[in-house]
Structure 1
Amino acid sequence: MNVEEIIKTEKELPLKTRTMIHFALVSNKISEQFALALKPYEVSEQQFNVLRILRGQNNKPANLSTINERMVTKMSNTTRLVDKLIAKGYVKRWVCESNRRKVEILITDKGKTILEKIDKTMEGAEKEILKNFTAKELTELNILLDKF
C-alpha cells in the first residue's frame, strides 16, 4: 500500500478511530526518539524515569511503591529496574532500620551526574520532536491533553 492509499484509507475511518491511531503513532515515535537519545548512556526510558523520580526526592530515599506510583509507565518490574541501576552505581538501596519490610532507594552522586548529561540529550530530543509546534500550539495541545 502506498502513501496515497494509506491517507485515503485513514480519511475513511471514523474520527475517533483516526484519533486513536494518531495517538499510537505519536507515542511510538516519541518512544523511538527517546530510546535513541538514551542509547549512548545504556539507560532505558524506564530507568531514566526512575532516576528522575529519585532526583526529585531531594536527597530523601524513596521506596518501591513510591517509585511505581510516579512512573510514567506503570509496571510490576520496578525492582528489576532498580537492580540494574544499582549495578551501574546510579542508585543505592538498603533496608529501613525502623521498618525491616521497607526498602529505601536513593540516587547516588554518580546517578545525579549521568542524569545531568542525559537531561541535556533529552532536551535536544524533545526540541527535535516538537520542532514543528509553536509555543501557542504546545499550550493548546497541553490544555487538550489535560482532558484525559
Structure 2
Amino acid sequence: MSNIEKLLSQKAFNSEYTKGLVSLIFVGNWIVSRHQQFFKKFDITMQQFNILRILRGQHPKAANINMLKDRMLDRMSDVSRLVERLRKAELLERKSCEADRRAVDVKITPKGLQLLKVIDEEIRQLEDSLQALNPKEIAQLNKLLDKVLEQY
C-alpha cells in the first residue's frame, strides 16, 4: 500500500494516472497549507508575497497590473485588490503611469524590500517539504513537472 493510499484510507486506485493526479493534488494542498501558515506571521498572504517578489525582480523599475497578473503563480488572484492591500501596508506604491494615464505603475517600497529580506532568512523552512528527495531526485521531479507543464 502506498503512502497516498494510507493517508486517504484508499483502496487501490483505478490507474496510476488517477493515483498520480490525486497525489499531486494532495501534496499541492499540503504545501499550500504550509505556505499559508508560514506567511501568517508576516501578516501577508502567499499571493501578496508573490507580488512583492515580482516587484523586487523589477526593482527599481515599475510594473503594471497586467504584468503582475501574467507572472502570478495563482492566476485567479484579484491583483488590483492585492496591490491595494499592499499599498495600505506601505509595502508598495501605486501611481498613474506617465506614458499612459489609464495604466498604473506599481513599485516596491523600501519597507517591502526589508520585509522580503526578513522572509528570505526564514523561507528555507518551506523547502524542507521536499527534503525527502535527494538532489538527483529533485532534478528528476522538476523535469517531470516541466514535461506535464508542456500541456499548459
- In 1, Cα distance between equivalents of 2:104 and 2:8: 55
Higher RCO (C-alpha 8 Å, min separation 6)? 1
Shift of 1:121: 2.0
- Within a 5 Å distance, the mapping from 1:38-117 to structure 2 comes to 38-117=39-118
The alignment's TM-score, normalised by the length of structure 2, stands at 0.89
Q: Cα RMSD (Å) of the superposition?
A: 1.7
| Whole-Å separation in 2 of the counterparts to 1:47 and 1:4 | 31
Indicate if the aligned counterparts of 1:35 and 1:45 stay in contact, CA closer than 8 A. Answer: yes
Gap regions ≥5 residues in structure 1: none
Counterpart mapping for 1:122-133 below 5 A: 122-126=123-127, 128-133=128-133
CA distance in 2, matches of 1:34, 1:120: 15
Q: Structure 2: which 5+ residue stretches go unaligned?
A: none
Q: How many residues align?
A: 144
Identity, % of aligned pairs?
A: 35
The 2-side partners of 1:5 and 1:95 are apart by 51
Runs of 4+ in 1 over 2 A off after TM superposition: 2-5
How big is the shift at 1:124? 1.7
Please report how far the alpha carbon of residue 125 of structure 1 lies from its aligned counterpart in structure 2 after TM superposition: 1.4
- State the Cα deviation string for residues 13-55 of structure 1 (Å, max 9, x = none): 2111111100100100110111111110011000000000000
Whether the 8 Å CA contact 1:89–1:111 is kept in 2: the answer is yes
**CA–CA separation in structure 2 for the residues paired with 1:144 and 1:101:** 42
Q: Cα offset for 1:112?
A: 0.3
Q: How does 1:28-43 map to 2 (within 5 A)?
A: 28-43=29-44
